[in-house]
Chains A and B, each alone.
Chain A
Amino acid sequence: MTDLFHILHDYGLLLLVGQFPQGPLGGLALTLCLAVAGLLISFPLAVLVGIARTSTHTVIYLPVSVAVHLIRGLPVLMIIFWAYFIVPLAIGRSVSALTTVLCALVVYELAFMGEVIRAGIQALPKGQIEAARSLGLNGFQVMRRVVLPQALFHMLPSILNRFISLIKNTSLGYIISLNELTYSAYQINIQLLTKPFQVYTILAVTYFLICWSLGQAMTRLERRIQARRERTAAYVESTIIASA
Chain B
Amino acid sequence: MLSLNFSSVLHGQYLHWFLLGAICTLLLFAVSWVIGFLLSLIVVAVRSSGARFLVAAAAGFVGYHRNVPELVQLFVWYFGVPQLLPATWQQLINNTGNSEFIFATIALSLNVAAYMSEDLRSGIRSLPSAQLEAARALGLSYISSMRKVILPQALKVAVPPLVNQSLGLFKSTSLAMAIGVAEMTYVSQQVENESFRTFEAFAVASIFYWTVSFLIMGLGTVWSKRLNMDGTR
CB contact under 8 A between A81 and B188, given known A74-B210, A197-B83? yes
Quick one: which of B80, B205, B214 contacts A78, CB cutoff 8 A? Answer: B205
Quick one: which of B69, B205, B213 contacts A73, CB cutoff 8 A? Answer: B213
CB contact under 8 A between A197 and B84, given known A207-B72, A212-B67? yes
Give bound CA distance, A73 to B73, whole Å.
Answer: 23
Give bound CA distance, A207 to B188, whole Å.
Answer: 29
CB distance from B3 to the nearest CB of A (A): 14
Give bound CA distance, A99 to B231, whole Å.
Answer: 50
A70 CB within 8 Å of chain B: yes
A169 CB within 8 Å of chain B: yes
CB distance from A190 to the nearest CB of B (A): 10
Give bound CA distance, A150 to B113, whole Å.
Answer: 35
Give bound CA distance, A111 to B188, whole Å.
Answer: 24
Give bound CA distance, A73 to B217, whole Å.
Answer: 9
Contacts between the two chains (Cβ within 8 Å), count? 105
In contact, B76 and A78 (Cβ under 8 angstroms) = no
Give bound CA distance, A82 to B198, whole Å.
Answer: 9
B61 CB within 8 Å of chain A: no
Q: In terms of DSSP, what is the predominant structure of the interface of chain B?
A: helix
In contact, A200 and B171 (Cβ under 8 angstroms) = no
Stretch at the interface among A55-63, A140-148, A170-178: A170-178
Quick one: which of A73, A200, A201 contacts B209, CB cutoff 8 A? Answer: A73
CB distance from A200 to the nearest CB of B (A): 4
In contact, A73 and B81 (Cβ under 8 angstroms) = no
In contact, A77 and B198 (Cβ under 8 angstroms) = no
In contact, A196 and B172 (Cβ under 8 angstroms) = no
B175 CB within 8 Å of chain A: yes
Name the CB-closest residue of A to B77: A200
Interface residues of A (CB under 8 A from B): 69-70, 72-78, 81-82, 85, 164, 168-169, 171-172, 174-175, 182, 186, 189, 195-197, 199-201, 203-204, 207-208, 211-212, 215
A-B contact pairs, 6 of them (CB 8 A): A76-B174, A77-B185, A78-B188, A169-B69, A204-B68, A207-B72
